[in-house]
Structure 1
Amino acid sequence: MKWQVILLIVLALFGGYLVISSATGLVEPVGRLGFVKLANPDMYPGHVHSKLLAEYAEERNSKCALVVHFAGDSNYRHYKEGDVMIIEMAFIDTNGTGAAGPTDYMDSLKLAIFGVPDGRYKFKADGLTFNSWKEARSYIKKIAGQNGQEGPIPMVWHGTARSGNPIFTQGCGLPLYFYITWQEYGALAAYYYTLKGMVTPYLSLPYRNYELQHASELQYYYTHGMLDYQ
């Protein structure tokens, strides 16, 4: 019985730490936003995924929300969705294969266990590139502060998978979500919020059935420019 009591105490302390730290930190990790793109660009005023993210923010009485990506051609500019400021940030993996390249699973495992070495990631927002998380973090705080943000900013990873089964392929932005959570709250919190975040779209995404049932079609449409509307 002693080990059970000790385990309960440890879990209670860890849970208390997560509650307190996320309530006072920069971000509140929410999870994955979507499974596949329904239109391109999809983080755009009036788009269903954008409106859903704004709803997440409004539910938490937040004036801003943060969505993180794997860097591509976009400038990742912030914009308003109703009354909510959507802040976008992407990461550039200087040792990686790019947004469209194959995943190096062994490298990903090393990063998940040991963390990301200093200087490996660069960050992109509003057409600007930041060489460190400290710089990128300050920029996020600046934009949020200009929009009256109080308390943590709800954070999601974009989550759209351009190929493969989106149930297993976690899509755009997961490494940055994991990285930010690790930087802000530590490794254990990063594992917890990432696993919890993988469940989020199954509970909160209104279009989950459509996206999953038509994933291969939508991925084909996206990669062949058939979802473009801008």
Structure 2
Amino acid sequence: MKWLLITLGILALIAGYSYVTVSNGPIEPLGRLSFVKLANPDMYPGHPDSELLVKYAEERGSKCALVVHFTGSSNYRSYNDSGVYIIEVGFIDTQGNGSINMSQVNYLDSFKVALFGIPDGRYKYMSDGHVYDTYDEMMAHVNELAQEHGQEGPLPLVWHGTVRQDNPILAQGCGFPLYFQILTQTYGIIPAYVYTIKGMLFPYFNNPYRDFELKNYATLQSYYDQGLLNENYKTVNDSYQYNIYKNNQNYD
């Protein structure tokens, strides 16, 4: 009983410290946005995931929101959706393309990242068609966009979370490492742990598409790979966008 009380006390201190630290900061970490892709392109005005992020921002009185991805064929253009400015950033892992499926996850590398954070210089970043070489350059761009579009208070942050292969309950999906890096850089490693775990649970309580996505994830993944979720899927085989998509099968 004594050790249980000590453990609970330590956990309470960690949670309290993390809450106070994050509640006074410039980023409001929400968590994972989605489980699987519902449409292609990934995010655009009127896309279900975009509308959901707009809802989250409006609930918090925010004029902007930040969504992070693995880089793929997109330029990660920021855009306005229903009065909320959606800022998009993708990360490029210079030591690999990220895991394509669960069987290719480098667990030792993931463990090192979880313990020590992202090594300096490992990632590059794509936003609005430009590649940023450093984290500071990327965040300067994000903060400039937020300021230009009237952001007041902390900026809501999500990782997209979509999984193209494997079970989306196990795989955390698109953008997860960058979300963790932003929290680590902004608040330190302990709050990053706490709010990353909290963020994993976020869609189970907030995403209205949760049941549909999880029950139909294999079908949706198959449809995505066949191009059937493309915005213009009826003529998709003749489109430049489809050729770009087919040439980037191993990317988000």
TM-score, length basis structure 2: 0.85
Aligned residues: 229
Q: Is the 8 A contact 1:97 1:103 kept in 2?
A: no
Instruction: Map residues 154-193 of structure 1 onto 2, 5 A cutoff.
Output: 154-193=156-195
Does 1:64 find its partner at 2:75? no
Match of 1:29 in 2: 29
1:99 shift after superposition: 6.4
Q: Is the 8 A contact 1:44 1:50 kept in 2?
A: yes
Secondary structure (helix, strand or coil) at the match of 2:105 reads coil
Distance 1:87 1:116 in 2: 22
Q: Is the 8 A contact 2:100 2:165 kept in 1?
A: no
One-letter code aligned to 1:121: Y
One-letter code aligned to 1:151: G
One-letter code aligned to 2:159: W
Match of 1:82 in 2: 82
1:13 shift after superposition: 4.7
Q: Is the 8 A contact 1:71 1:99 kept in 2?
A: no
Q: Is the 8 A contact 2:163 2:174 kept in 1?
A: yes
Match of 1:147 in 2: 149
Please tell me the root mean square deviation across aligned C-alpha atoms, in Å: 1.9
Q: Is the 8 A contact 2:36 2:221 kept in 1?
A: yes
Q: What stretches of structure 1 of length at least 5 have no aligned partner?
A: none
Q: Is the 8 A contact 1:87 1:140 kept in 2?
A: yes
Q: What stretches of structure 2 of length at least 5 have no aligned partner?
A: 233-252
Distance 1:56 1:193 in 2: 17
Distance 1:70 1:147 in 2: 25
Distance 1:99 1:70 in 2: 10
Q: Is the 8 A contact 1:30 1:154 kept in 2?
A: yes
Match of 1:46 in 2: 46
Identical counterparts, % of pairs: 53
Match of 2:221 in 1: 219
Secondary structure (helix, strand or coil) at the match of 2:86 reads strand
One-letter code aligned to 2:48: V
1:107 shift after superposition: 1.1
Does 1:194 find its partner at 2:196? yes
1:2 shift after superposition: 9.4
Secondary structure (helix, strand or coil) at the match of 2:43 reads coil
One-letter code aligned to 1:173: G
Distance 2:132 2:7 in 1: 43
One-letter code aligned to 2:59: E
Q: Is the 8 A contact 2:224 2:230 kept in 1?
A: yes
Q: Is the 8 A contact 1:27 1:155 kept in 2?
A: yes
Distance 2:121 2:54 in 1: 32
Q: Is the 8 A contact 1:57 1:65 kept in 2?
A: yes
